C-alpha cells in the first residue's frame, strides 16, 4: 500500500488563539476526510524578520503554552522552529517535530541540541546551499544520536529579492534521508521585496506542490491562514485556509 504523504500546515506565526483554533479545527476535519496525519505548524518567534518593526510572535513561554493547548484540545502533532540552542530542550517537551530554519541549517550547536531531544528534526535547506550540501547537517544530527531527520526544500536565491526552485534538490537530498518535504509557500517568497518586508506569489503555490510530487517529495509544507491579507507575517505567500482542501485533493 502506498504511503500517504506528510503534510505540515499552519499560520506562519502565532498571532491569536482564535486564529490557531480556526486553523486547527479545519486540519482535524481534513485529517478525517482524507485519512491523513497533518502536522500543525506555527512559530512562537520569527527571529529573522526583515524589519525591527515586524511582528515576531508571543515569545517562547507563552507560545509553547498556546501550542500545548492546541495539541491537547485537537490531538494534532505539532511542529515549530527554534533559533537558539537553549530553546531545544523546552520546545522538545511540547512539540513532535523541531524545525531548523533555512538560514540556520549549518549552525552546529543548534542541530546538536535539537538532536538530543530525540524528536524528529526537520532541517530546511538554506537558500544558499545545494541539495547535496545537506548531507552534512543530516550527519550532524545523526552523529549526535538521532536518526529521525527530515529535510525540506524551499528554493534558492535567484538574483535579488527572488527565489527559484531546482526540483532536482529533492532527489539529491533523498540520498541522505528518505523523508524530503517541499515547502510550497516559502518557495514563492520574494525576500525583502515589499518595502521592509517579504513579498510573495501565492498563485504559484499549488503548482509548486504538484511539481514536487513529480520529483518524488515525501510530503509538503504549507503556511495557511484564514485571511492571509491581514496576516502579521508572510501573508503574500500563504494559502487561504478555505483553499487548502482543494490543494490536498490535487496531491492525493
Confidence check: pLDDT of 56 > 90 = no
pLDDT band at 1 (very low <50, low <70, confident <90, very high): low
Cβ contact 152:122 at 8 Å:
yes
Confidence check: pLDDT of 231 > 90 = no
Confidence check: pLDDT of 144 > 90 = yes
Cβ contact 193:162 at 8 Å:
yes
Q: What percent of the chain has pLDDT over 70?
A: 94
- Check residue 177 and give its pLDDT: 98
Ranges 65-74, 175-184, 200-209: which has the least confidence: 200-209
CA distance 176 to 178: 7
Tell me the three cell numbers of residue 241: 485556509
Confidence check: pLDDT of 98 > 70 = yes
CA distance 67 to 73: 10
What is the mean predicted confidence (pLDDT) over 186-211? 75
Give pTM, 2 decimals: 0.93
- Check residue 236 and give its pLDDT: 80
Cβ contact 23:38 at 8 Å:
no
Give the chain as a DSSP string. Answer: -PPPPEEEEE-SB---HHHHHHHHHHHHHHHHHHT--EEEE-BS--TT-SSTTS---S-HHHHHHHHHHHHHHH--EEEEE--SGGGHHHHHTT-SEEEE-GGGTT-HHHHHHHHHT-SEEEEEPPTT--TGGGHHHHHHHHTTT---EEEEE--EE-SSS-EE--THHHHHHTTT-S-EEEETTGGGEETTTTTSS-EE-GGGHHHHHHHHHHTT-SEEEEEEES-GGG-SSSGGGPEEGGGHHHHHHHH-
Confidence check: pLDDT of 45 > 60 = yes
- Check residue 192 and give its pLDDT: 60
- Check residue 229 and give its pLDDT: 87
What is the mean predicted confidence (pLDDT) over 113-127? 97
pLDDT band at 198 (very low <50, low <70, confident <90, very high): low
Confidence check: pLDDT of 43 > 90 = yes
Amino acid at each position: 500500500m502506498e504511503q500517504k504523504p506528510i503534510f505540515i500546515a499552519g499560520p506562519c506565526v502565532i498571532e491569536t488563539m482564535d486564529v490557531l483554533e480556526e486553523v486547527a479545527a479545519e486540519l482535524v476535519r481534513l485529517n478525517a476526510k482524507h485519512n491523513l496525519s497533518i502536522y500543525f505548524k506555527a512559530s512562537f518567534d520569527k527571529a529573522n524578520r526583515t524589519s525591527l518593526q515586524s511582528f515576531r510572535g508571543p515569545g517562547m513561554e507563552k507560545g509553547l503554552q498556546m501550542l500545548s493547548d492546541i495539541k491537547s484540545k485537537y490531538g494534532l502533532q505539532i511542529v515549530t522552529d527554534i533559533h537558539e540552542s537553549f530553546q531545544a530542550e523546552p520546545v522538545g517537551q511540547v512539540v513532535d517535530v523541531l524545525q531548523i530554519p533555512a538560514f540556520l541549517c549549518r549552525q552546529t550547536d543548534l542541530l546538536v541540541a535539537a538532536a538530543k531531544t530525540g524528536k524528529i528534526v526537520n532541517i530546511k535547506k538554506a537558500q544558499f546551499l545545494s541539495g547535496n550540501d545537506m548531507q552534512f547537517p543530516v550527519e550532524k544530527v545523526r552523529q549526535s544520536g538521532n536518526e529521525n531527520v527530515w529535510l525540506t526544500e524551499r528554493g534558492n536565491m535567484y538574483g535579488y529579492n527572488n527565489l527559484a526552485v531546482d526540483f532536482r534538490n529533492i532527489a539529491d537530498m533523498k540520498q541522505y534521508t528518505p523523508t524530503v518535504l517541499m515547502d510550497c509557500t516559502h518557495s514563492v517568497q520574494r525576500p525583502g521585496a515589499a518595502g521592509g518586508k517579504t513579498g510573495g506569489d501565492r498563485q504559484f503555490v499549488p503548482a509548486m506542490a504538484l511539481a514536487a510530487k513529480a520529483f518524488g517529495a515525501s510530503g509538503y509544507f504549507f503556511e495557511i491562514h484564514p485571511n492571509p491579507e491581514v496576516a502579521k507575517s508572510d501573508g503574500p505567500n500563504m494559502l487561504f485556509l478555505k483553499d487548502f482542501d482543494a490543494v490536498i485533493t490535487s496531491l492525493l
